[in-house]
Amino acid sequence: MATLHTVNKSPFSTQTLLSCLGHAKAGDTILMIEDGVYGAAAGTGLSDAMAAMAGNITLAVLAPDMKARGIDEGRLMDGVKTVDYAGFVELAATTDRTQNWL
């Protein structure tokens, strides 16, 4: 049973993304939205923790939220895919459940 985890808080102001990483299981997807998109940036203190999970889970970022915050796609960690709103809906529709990490 795959879960879509959505994280909307900046990993630099809360521990939400790290908590999510600790609970995600193989086959799950973590989608970073709103200020959570900062967690997908390469070269941060979270990069190693994120990279360690990348083989077991899918890491994604909502492209419109990333663009709204001035984050260029070239700044993303390797292995993070971008999705648009239709991609967000598809992820929600193709997983067994959605867990929002507030």
pLDDT at 98 over 80: yes
Q: What's the pLDDT tens digit per position in 20-56?
A: 999 999 999 999 999 999 999 998 888 888 888 777 8
Q: Which domain holds residue 91?
A: 3-101
Number of domains into which the chain is organized: 1
Q: Taking Cα atoms as reference points, which of 99, 24, 35 lies closest to residue 59?
A: 24
Kindly report the number of other CB atoms within 10 A of residue 20's CB atom: 24
What separation in angstroms does the CA of 53 have from each of 37, 45, 68, 85? 17, 14, 26, 24
pLDDT band at 3 (very low <50, low <70, confident <90, very high): very high
The CATH number of the domain holding residue 86 is 3.40.1260.10
pTM score, two decimals? 0.94
Q: What's the pLDDT tens digit per position in 46-97?
A: 888 888 877 789 999 999 999 999 999 999 999 899 999 999 999 999 999 9
